[in-house]
Amino acid sequence: MARTAVLLVDAQNDFFPGGALPVPGGDAILPAVNALLELAGTRGWPVAASRDWHPEDHASFSTRGGPWPVHCVRGTAGAELHPGLALPPVFTMVHKATDRDRDAYSAFEGTGLAAALEERGIGRLLVGGLALDYCVRATCLDAREAGFEVALVLPATRAVEVHPGDGEAALEALRAAGVAVLAEVPR
């Protein structure tokens, strides 16, 4: 059976309430995310986490005509992982959207994540993080394309919903791509 890993997408201060690009109610994912991390610890599953890691003049920023406020500038407090995460002492971290002229929503885009997971015999991913309708969506779709089994833990993710309905649309697209959407943290 394929080995499982937990993949935590962009659980960074700027995407939580009080941050530069907050997901409304984003704090509500923390208990489920931590339950997922705890499960990883119990089962001996590796944990990987992505960070949105932009240069200060990134093309996605409104200051350059992009769609987003300045957020997750590499090296700033807003780009750090949320301090309330129960991360294990050792985990894999990848950084994405680091090119000033290109956005990248997926944690697989230009990060080497697929190879890093495959190298460790991982074939199945349990996913949580922010935001469901952008980076979590893109990450899960890329994971499927790369051949991983993917389960998204619903209470461990949340949509930013710039456009109402984007969260539901994301779930539909994910289910269509063969992503299992779990109503609870597995046990």
Q: Which is nearer to ligand VGL, 2 or 77 (CB)?
A: 77
Number of residues assigned to the chain: 187
Q: Judge contact between 127 and 157, C-beta under 8 A.
A: yes
Q: Does 52 bind ligand VGL (CB under 6 A)?
A: yes
Instruction: Taking the CA atoms of 41, 91, 140 and 131 in sequence, report the sign of the dihedral they define.
Output: positive
**Which 118-177 positions form the footprint of ligand VGL (CB under 6 A)?**
130-131, 134-135
For residue 180, whether the previous peptide bond is cis, meaning omega lies within 30 degrees of 0, is: no
Catalytic residue among 14, 52, 72, 96: 96
Provide the minimum distance between the beta carbon of 141 and ligand VGL in the complex, in angstroms, as a whole number: 13
- How far is residue 134 from each of residues 9, 92, 106, measured CA to CA in Å? 10, 21, 8
Q: Which is nearer to ligand VGL, 16 or 134 (CB)?
A: 134
| Among Zn ion, ligand VGL, none, partner that 135 touches (CB below 5 to 8 angstroms by kind) | ligand VGL
| Among Zn ion, ligand VGL, none, partner that 61 touches (CB below 5 to 8 angstroms by kind) | none
96 is catalytic: yes
Provide the minimum distance between the beta carbon of 4 and ligand VGL in the complex, in angstroms, as a whole number: 23
- Which of 52, 109, 133, 142 is in the footprint of Zn ion by CB under 5 A? 52
Site string for ligand VGL, 4-23 (x = CB under 6 A): ------x----x--------
Q: Does 68 bind ligand VGL (CB under 6 A)?
A: yes
Provide the minimum distance between the beta carbon of 165 and ligand VGL in the complex, in angstroms, as a whole number: 17
Binding residues (CB under 6 A) for ligand VGL: these are 10, 15, 52, 60, 68, 130-131, 134-135
Give the residue numbers annotated as catalytic, written as ranges: 10, 96, 135
